[in-house]
Amino acid sequence: MQWPTRVDVIDVGLRDGLQSEAAFVPTDAKIALLNRLIDAGVRHIEATSFVSPRAVPQMADAAQVLAGARRVPGLVLSVLAPNAKGVERALQAGADEIVVFVSASESHNGKNLNRPVERSLQDIDEIAALTRGQQVKRKGAVAVAFGCPFEGDVDPDLLERIVARYAEHGFDGITLGDTTGMATPPLVERTVARLQQRFGNLPISLHFHNTRGIGLVNVMAGLRLGISTYEASLGGIGGCPFAPGATGNICTEDLLNLLHEMGIQTGIDLDRLVQAARLLEDIMGRPLPGQVMKAGPRSALHRLDSVCAAQG
């Protein structure tokens, strides 16, 4: 089996991870985390979202967070933007990449964006016109791409229609979001293979949540299909405030541990990332779902005399 030799890991913890936190995380703390990610070698970070601050108060400081990033060569600061107003704010704040998003079900789109999918497709047209010819990269996300918490299985034709709209406008790639962890390996294979067949070389990123404990198994399915971009959250935090039962993204450190053990390069220093996850844990004030931050990477051995022998 041939895996990609290098994988682009996008950390989305500052956006997907924090957006459902009720208590406002101070802007300074967000900036400190962002710079820890950069120090650990993460070069693609979804740092915030330019959405309505009334819909998601946690993201009200989007422009300040971006302004606090330590810019290093090769860094791509990505942001979510749902409409023209969000895109204008994002451009003004100096985002390198804008991620537009639409759900593959009417129910979730209604909750998340307060409009029918058809209207969101028009928003894509408007955003495309606004960003055409600009330096900024454009990516199209599809939420609930592998299942909707309100409707169950999503219509593959609707998913394809949304992707087609992004492709028509020359977006740089798409992200398939498994918003509430409903993906399974066979579904990932079916969905991705269908899109690969229709859209050829349009780059696909995968965004899994570990809601049902199979997030990394779905990554394995993606790797087998040749997908080389995955989104994950520091410490495994995350969840959509507009989807019941949504829990954390796959954890970035746990993903790295897997990829590195498979001989796949990411350019990210796992030990430094674990330190960043510990800072996040201090900021959140509760244990995080990440497992490698508790157990250490596979290579971290314990001194023999650090544990007593079992004596009957």
Positions touching ligand COA (CB under 6 A) are: 19, 49-56, 82-83, 85-86, 89, 101, 112-114, 143, 240, 242
Tell which one of 11, 16, 46, 106 touches Zn ion (CB under 5 A): 16
Nearer Cβ to Zn ion, position 86 or 215? 215
8 A C-beta contact, residue 7 and residue 226: no
Active centre residues (catalytic)? 240
Residue 146 binds which entry of ligand COA, Zn ion, none, with Cβ cut-offs from 5 to 8 Å by kind?
Answer: none
Residue 113 binds which entry of Zn ion, ligand COA, none, with Cβ cut-offs from 5 to 8 Å by kind?
Answer: ligand COA
Nearer Cβ to ligand COA, position 19 or 211? 19
Stretch that binds Zn ion, among 16-24, 49-57, 77-85, 106-114 (CB under 5 A): 16-24
231 sits near Zn ion (criterion: CB under 5 A)? no
Using CA atoms in the order 13, 14, 20, 26, what is the torsion angle rounded to 10 degrees? Answer: 140
Residue 244 binds which entry of Zn ion, ligand COA, none, with Cβ cut-offs from 5 to 8 Å by kind?
Answer: none
Nearer Cβ to ligand COA, position 83 or 252? 83
Cβ neighbors of 287 (< 8 A, separation 6 or more) are 281
DSSP three-state, residue 13: helix
Q: How far is the CB of 52 from ligand COA (least distance, A)?
A: 3
Q: How far is the CB of 59 from ligand COA (least distance, A)?
A: 7
Residue 232 and residue 294: Cα distance in Å, rounded?
17
If one counts every other C-beta atom within 10 angstroms of the C-beta of residue 179, the result is 33
Nearer Cβ to ligand COA, position 86 or 289? 86
8 A C-beta contact, residue 50 and residue 90: yes
Q: What is the 3-state secondary structure (H, E, C) of 117-174?
A: HHHHHHHHHHHHHHHCCCCCEEEEEEECCCCECCCECCCHHHHHHHHHHHHHCCCCEE
**Which residues bind to Zn ion, rule: CB under 5 A?**
16
